[in-house]
């Protein structure tokens, strides 16, 4: 019994169908209380005032935006090396979620930036990198949408994802070099010195867990849809072959 067993679409469908309700349930009992806790029951911060409440959506979505791209990179590599259908469909399924997270991070960041820095947008390295990440997501999704044959599309988008990842990292360093920024450093490091205080940290952790579970639930549903579409395509082709 190895992990690769679930690369078989039939096994994956069976397992994901069983797991899905649990993931959705767990997501509901972390995300909703986390958000309510963060929104209603947290005190004002000394420097940020009440605007600190934006952190409960800004930080999780920003984390997810990057991590989803990493997940797409890993699944694309698995497709290139081992050619498991589930893997590349999961990458495709994740792209729209990733782009939504990027947009949320950008918009909430801009709204938060206005009272804090006095501007909605600054060409700060972090902000700029997220904008670039958004462009990479768009390109990836556009390439999927443009190609009809599912296998060709899977191969080409995987190659794009791998090359794009290299250039995304390069852009990150280039942008850092180009302009030093306003954005504060990481607010969640394991290093205790820089840690935000527990009052904000606990609901934030709950929200992050909620976002991760939400992503898991959505990506499972979307991967299942994608696999069904592949099956549909196969049946379609077979039907046409018979007619011809």
Considering the complex, state which of residue 191 and residue 218 has its C-beta at the smaller distance from another protein: 218
CB-facing half-sphere around the CA of 56: CA atoms within 13 A: 26
Among 12, 16, 34, 53, binds another protein (CB under 8 A): 53
Residue 96 CA to residue 130 CA, distance in Å, equals: 15
Give yes or no for residue 86 binding another protein (CB under 8 A): no
**CA neighbor of 48 nearest in space, from 114, 122, 128:** 114
Give yes or no for residue 160 binding another protein (CB under 8 A): yes
Residue 207 CA to residue 44 CA, distance in Å, equals: 18
Considering the complex, state which of residue 75 and residue 95 has its C-beta at the smaller distance from another protein: 95
Considering the complex, state which of residue 3 and residue 206 has its C-beta at the smaller distance from another protein: 206
Please tell me the count of residues contacting another protein according to CB under 8 A.
62
Q: Map tokens 């990057």 to a residue.
A: 66
| Phi, psi angle pair for 14, to nearest 5° | -65, -50
Among 7, 26, 74, 100, binds another protein (CB under 8 A): 100
Give yes or no for residue 242 binding another protein (CB under 8 A): yes
- Minimum CB separation from another protein for residue 218, in Å? 5
User: 3-state DSSP call for residue 49?
Assistant: strand
Give yes or no for residue 114 binding another protein (CB under 8 A): yes
Enumerate the β-bridge partners of residue 49.
Answer: 45
- Minimum CB separation from another protein for residue 169, in Å? 9
Q: How many other C-beta atoms lie within 10 A of the C-beta of residue 41?
A: 9
Which tokens belong to 203? Answer: 């609901």
Among 147, 188, 196, 205, binds another protein (CB under 8 A): 147
Q: Map tokens 């990179």 to a residue.
A: 73
Helices 85-117 and 150-178, packing angle to 10 deg: 30
User: Are the C-beta atoms of 193 and 27 separated by less than 8 Å?
Assistant: no
Considering the complex, state which of residue 112 and residue 200 has its C-beta at the smaller distance from another protein: 112
Which tokens belong to 128? Answer: 């700029």
Contact window for another protein (CB under 8 A) among 63-71, 185-193, 197-205, 215-223: 215-223
Give yes or no for residue 29 binding another protein (CB under 8 A): no
Give yes or no for residue 183 binding another protein (CB under 8 A): no
Give yes or no for residue 58 binding another protein (CB under 8 A): yes
**CA neighbor of 108 nearest in space, from 96, 98, 121:** 121
The residues of the shown chain that bind another protein, judged by CB under 8 A, are: 39-40, 44, 49-51, 53-54, 57-58, 61, 96-97, 100, 103-104, 107-108, 111-112, 114-115, 132, 135-136, 138-139, 142-143, 146-147, 152, 155-156, 159-160, 162-164, 167, 170-171, 173-175, 177-178, 214, 218, 221-222, 224-225, 228-229, 231-232, 235-236, 238-239, 242
């Amino acid at each position: 019994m190895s992990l690769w067993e679930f690369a078989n679409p039939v096994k994956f469908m069976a397992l994901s169908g069983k797991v899905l309700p649990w993931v959705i349930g767990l997501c509901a009992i972390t995300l909703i209380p986390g958000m309510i806790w963060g929104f209603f029951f947290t005190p004002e911060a000394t420097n940020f005032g009440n605007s600190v409440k934006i952190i409960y959506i800004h930080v999780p979505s920003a984390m997810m935006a990057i991590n989803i791209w990493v997940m797409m990179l890993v699944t694309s590599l698995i497709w290139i090396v081992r050619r498991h259908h589930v893997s590349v469909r999961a990458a495709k399924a994740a792209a729209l979620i990733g782009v939504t997270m990027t947009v949320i991070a950008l918009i909430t960041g801009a709204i938060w930036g206005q009272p804090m820095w006095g501007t909605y947008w600054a060409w700060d390295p972090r902000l700029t990198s997220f904008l670039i990440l958004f462009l990479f997501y768009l390109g990836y999704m556009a390439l999927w949408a443009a190609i009809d044959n599912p296998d060709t599309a899977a191969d080409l988008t995987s190659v794009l994802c791998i090359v794009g990842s290299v250039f995304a990292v390069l852009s990150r360093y280039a942008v850092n070099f180009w302009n030093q920024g306003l954005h504060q450093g990481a607010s969640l490091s394991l290093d205790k010195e820089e840690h935000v205080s527990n009052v904000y940290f606990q609901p934030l952790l709950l929200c992050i867990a909620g976002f991760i579970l939400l992503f898991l639930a959505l990506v499972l549903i979307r991967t299942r849809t994608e696999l069904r579409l592949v099956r549909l395509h196969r049946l379609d082709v077979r039907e046409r072959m018979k007619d011809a």
